[in-house]
Amino acid sequence: MPYVNTADGTQIFYKDWGGGRPVVFSHGWPLNADAWDNQLHLVASRGFRAVAHDRRGHGRSGQPWEGNDMDTYADDLATLLDTLDLRDAVLVGHSTGGGEVTRYIGRHGTSRVSKVVLLGAVPPLMLRTEANPAGLPIEVFDTIRNGVEADRSRFYRELAVPFYGYNRPGAEVSQGVVDAFWLWSMQVGVKGALDCVRAFSETDFVEDLKRFDVPTLIAHGDDDQIVPVVASALESAKLVKGSTLKIYEGGPHGLAGAFEREFDADLLAFLNA
């Protein structure tokens, strides 16, 4: 399997499909690159080079004790882009992956980047603070950590339901989607999973967003129960100059069903614009 080696010796697994202009996907917590398979196939089938990696601690990548923080995630992404010598790349980040992409630009700039897509992304800050009253209280994230530590298998199965909006009236529940979410989630190491909760919830991305200087699509479902749109996309759009904001009515956090199809169409349109 293909890997790149990071500065601290951690191996990062990646997929590399197709050829053409690179589109690089960063996944959400607690998943891995497989969560992007539909989009990887979509863009690779249309003349793009589709690349996606498993974040450290997740999936097939190494599970180091240290380095499970947003700065290191961003540096790992930089290692991937540098090692593969990807240029004129479109970075696509979902949820925690959106934070990873945002911190990458904050730390490494846009010399290799031509466009950015943030989908259901955690920036600018998920945690409620005096300066961020619309954020979520720390108890929400403590509950996540407690669930992972107590019975992670059960926790991930239950988390899949609000993740995809399957607890909403009239929702068309796919047991296959729930099973896939559980399978991917069980591949993340406990240490990496717990550290990543802190990374995605407590990292402040305000200054990173101000460094964006390429076309950016900020997309978010207005019924996202994991990363509420009010404290995320709506605020990020104010910070990224010239960004395009797309709100999906009734859209959940995870890509599935009609929401996924609508995003796919918007992604292709943005890539080809």
Question: CA-CA distance, 252 to 245, in Å (whole number)?
Answer: 16
- Note if 224 is an active site residue: yes
Residue 228 near residue 95 (C-beta atoms within 8 A) = no
d(CA 206, CA 240): 10
Q: Cα 213 vs. chain centroid, distance in angstroms? A: 20
Q: CA nearest 193: which of 253, 136, 147, 254?
A: 147
What count of other Cβ atoms lies within 10 Å of the Cβ of residue 258?
Answer: 11
* Active-site hit among 224, 232, 236, 243: 224
Known catalytic residue: 26?
Answer: no
Q: Select which of 27, 58, 94, 253 is catalytic.
A: 253
Q: How far apart are CA 119 and CA 131, in angstroms?
A: 24
Nearest to 181 by CA among 254, 248, 251: 254
Torsion, CA 30, CA 32, CA 34, CA 40, rounded to 10: 120
d(CA 193, CA 63): 10
**Known catalytic residue at 142:** no
Options 95, 185, 232, 243, the catalytic residue: 95
Task: Write the CB contacts of 55 (distance below 8 Å, at least 6 apart in sequence).
Answer: 12, 26, 27, 32, 61, 73, 76, 96, 97, 100, 192, 196
- Amino acid letter at 264? D
Residue 41's H or E segment, with its range, is helix 37-44
Active site residues: 95, 224, 253
